[in-house]
A and B are shown apart, each in its own frame.
Chain A
Amino acid sequence: MPAASGVLYTRFMFDPPITTRNRARVCVIGGGGTGAALAYDLSLRGFSVTLLEKGELTSGTTGRHHGQLHSGARYAVGDRAIASECMEETLILRRIAPEAIEYNGGVFVAVDDDDADYAPVFVSACLEAGIPAREVPVSEARSWEPVINPAARRTVWVPDGAFDAFRMPMSFFAAARRLGAGIRSFTEAVAVDVVAGRAAAVIARPVSTGRDERIECDYVVSATGAWAGSVGRMAGFDAPITPAPGTMVAVRGRLSDMVLSRLSPPGDGDIIVPQRGLSIIGTTQRVVDDPDCVLPDDDDVEFLLKRADELAPGFSSRGVHAVWAAARPLAGRSSGDGRSLSRDFMVLDHAAPGAVPGSAGMATLIGGKATVLRAMAEKAADHVCEALGVGEPCRTREFVLPSWRDYYAEETR
């Protein structure tokens, strides 16, 4: 077996100094990537954190996403600010969690005339967003990844990557717990106790005992993604959230190391992400009421395979390994397919003007995407600091995270 010389390898001690411990207790509801990063950020700022997740950690949308570490190129034409943020965050994640990322770059492929016409608009939007995209001859792109359609019209290199949807957030969980956060999986938040107009406690129900526990706290953040509607209602808050599931199909065989995307405005079935020995085409989008148990649509599979063949001919002849779906937590309300909703995220204070009174001390963090988990957490933790009058700055850019393995290896049972 060949030696892996040249593979980026980091050895480190995760031992960030917590300068000031404050006595404020924050309860985070939701153990996806967003909750993971938030539990870590708040712990680093000295808060006492308890996180509740009704199932296994990352069993909501997070563990099932497509695995694209977005450079932001996909969003550059539509929303420059989101694109820049993605670029900034991928650089941070590549530094603080290198072992959870297969970073090999990406290629946008123009397949037809419309795509080819879009290329100059795309490249200049990327550059304006700070994403160093550059057009390269198709022959050059195909020398890196010969699977790219030989009939491609134009090709553009971008700094995209692939990441492990489970191991990235688990590294944040490992860090949070190392700093003392209580991470409670298989423990559902069933109610929020509002006392004198303020969220004062969360009622938690561990599946192992079924006996309700009262988690007293000074602030509550719901990081429940597509479930933010039902959790918000526990505290009388109507969170504007649209669960929008999409299907993905994994075939056997690593067809490329680079992420391959269709050079066109974002649509369905236009990204192929490699992961270990698989290649994954995604995704689609529809809108549902209930984010529980989203199963893939059968029609989606045929459609996705056909679209994949346009980018990488022969994709569909590989054996299908798995088909699954996950629900996007789109912030906002929609009646259509949800594509008109932004991919931005927001921190909604339940006591903000216009909100139902009687639910101070709680916020809902929704929207965004897995690539920006750290930035989402930063913004929410800033909000908690402001609400509780704590002056600690965010420091999650600074430290390389411990391994996700530590999370389970250190679990003392």
Chain B
Amino acid sequence: MSGDRIPLTLRVRNGAAVAEFRIDAEPRRTVLDMLERLRSGGGTVPAYRHSCHHGSCGTCGARINGVEALMCLTSASDLGSPRARVPGGPAVEPERGEDGSVIVELEPLAKMTVISGIAVYPGTAFAGIPAGAGYLAVSEPGGRAPLPPDPTEPRPAGRVRFEACIECGSCVSSCPVAVPFIGPAALAAVNREREKRPERAPAMLALAAASDGVEPCGRHLACSRVCPQAVYPGKHIQLLRNALAEEPSASG
């Protein structure tokens, strides 16, 4: 791996304690790679969640120096460069220890029950997503010819792709709202479902109009700033508000 190694001090939350590891990482190594290496090297590393290692499963979210991010997409070089210390804040030089190493604090996502270490039950992120919300969306053909006839698919669906949201819960963790609220990930899913399936629009608007729907949102926009997938949940909440304003019956 090219480039000089970056000295890091990982401080991983483990209940009331913090496990500390001093490592020199190649610039491209991710936080997840580092934890994996420490763990296989026999170190007692606090528990963490991971699965895909490329930002698609959504399991490895954590608060890294106070800001929600995916550990599998945050590299040593990212950590050694100026970064925001609050969602959407100005990028500032990394904090360094006495030996000059970059301090990297890993905390579990907020608003979720901790299993152990920085591993959480992500239920809060999932609970408000409407049952049956479709995960497939149209993939825009952009001038390409339609897909060919398919003898194995009697009812071809056209070009499909997954929704952008990987259900990582980063937005939920970052949201400062403290009253009952289904949260940004769920509202983004509610709005996508409303857009994709007109027949379910009234049901989706009813969810948005409930007291734990769009109402508690204070437009802090932390959700949109931390989302690793550019879902912009704040935008979906606004679109739901607009739709509710146009259809007073749904909110009444």
Contacts and interface: CB of A to CB of B under 8 A. Distances in A.
Contacts of A322: 30, 53-55, 72-73
Nearest to A6: B158
Interface string A310-334: 0000000000011110100000000
A143 to B, nearest CB: 4
A100 B57 CA distance: 12
A321 B55 CA distance: 9
A100 B164 contact: no
A403 B195 CA distance: 20
B36 A293 contact: yes
B210 interface: no
Given A136-B148, A408-B121, A413-B121, A59 B137 contact: no
A248 B54 CA distance: 9
Point out which of B28, B39, B52 has the most chain A C-beta atoms below 10 A from its C-beta: B52
B115 A208 contact: yes
B145 A99 contact: no
Interface string B158-170: 1111111011000
A76 B163 CA distance: 32
Nearest to B73: A322
Given A276-B162, A292-B39, A409-B123, A186 B50 contact: no
B52 A166 contact: yes
Contacts of B140: 2
A412 B121 CA distance: 9
Interface in B1-59: 1, 28-30, 33, 36-37, 39-41, 47, 49-59
B49 A56 contact: yes
A6 B138 contact: yes
A121 interface: no
Interface in A375-413: 403, 405, 408-413
A8 B54 contact: no
B127 interface: yes
B113 A413 contact: yes
Contacts of A186: 47, 115-116, 119
Contacts of B145: 140, 143-144
B218 interface: no
B104 interface: no
A23 interface: no
Contacts of B54: 64, 248, 250, 278, 280, 321-322, 324
Given A11-B132, A146-B144, A321-B54, A102 B160 contact: yes
Contact of A4 (B56, B138, B167): B138
Given A2-B138, A144-B148, A323-B28, A58 B51 contact: yes
Contacts of B131: 403
A323 B131 CA distance: 34
A159 B162 CA distance: 18
A298 interface: yes
B249 interface: no
Contacts, number: 206
Nearest to B138: A4
Contacts of A276: 56, 161-164, 166, 229
**Contact count band on A:** 35 or more
Contact of B1 (A143, A157, A298, A412): A298
B242 interface: no
A180 B25 CA distance: 44
B121 A4 contact: no
Contact of B136 (A102, A278, A408): A102
Interface in A165-189: 165-167, 185-186
Contact of B167 (A3, A56, A405, A411): A405
B252 interface: no
A258 B144 CA distance: 12
A18 to B, nearest CB: 22
Point out which of B153, B195, B229 has the most chain A C-beta atoms below 10 A from its C-beta: B153
Interface in A57-86: 57-59, 62-64
Interface string A97-116: 01110111100000000000
A65 to B, nearest CB: 9
B138 A91 contact: no
Contact of B139 (A250, A257, A290, A408): A257
A257 B148 CA distance: 12
Given A140-B148, A186-B115, A277-B229, 8 more contacts: A7-B196, A8-B157, A59-B49, A99-B135, A102-B162, A104-B139, A105-B150, A165-B57
27 contacts: A3-B197, A7-B138, A7-B160, A7-B196, A8-B157, A55-B50, A59-B49, A63-B50, A63-B59, A64-B51, A102-B162, A103-B157, A103-B160, A144-B147, A145-B144, A166-B51, A166-B58, A186-B47, A257-B147, A276-B166, A293-B40, A321-B55, A324-B53, A324-B54, A326-B53, A408-B122, A409-B123
Nearest 9 pairs of A and B residues by beta carbon: A63-B51, A293-B40, A324-B53, A166-B57, A322-B54, A143-B145, A4-B196, A292-B40, A409-B126
Interface of A: 1-4, 6-9, 11, 55-59, 62-64, 91, 94, 98-100, 102-105, 132, 136, 140, 143-146, 157, 159, 164-167, 185-186, 207-208, 248, 250, 254, 257-258, 274-278, 280, 290, 292-293, 295, 298, 321-324, 326, 403, 405, 408-413
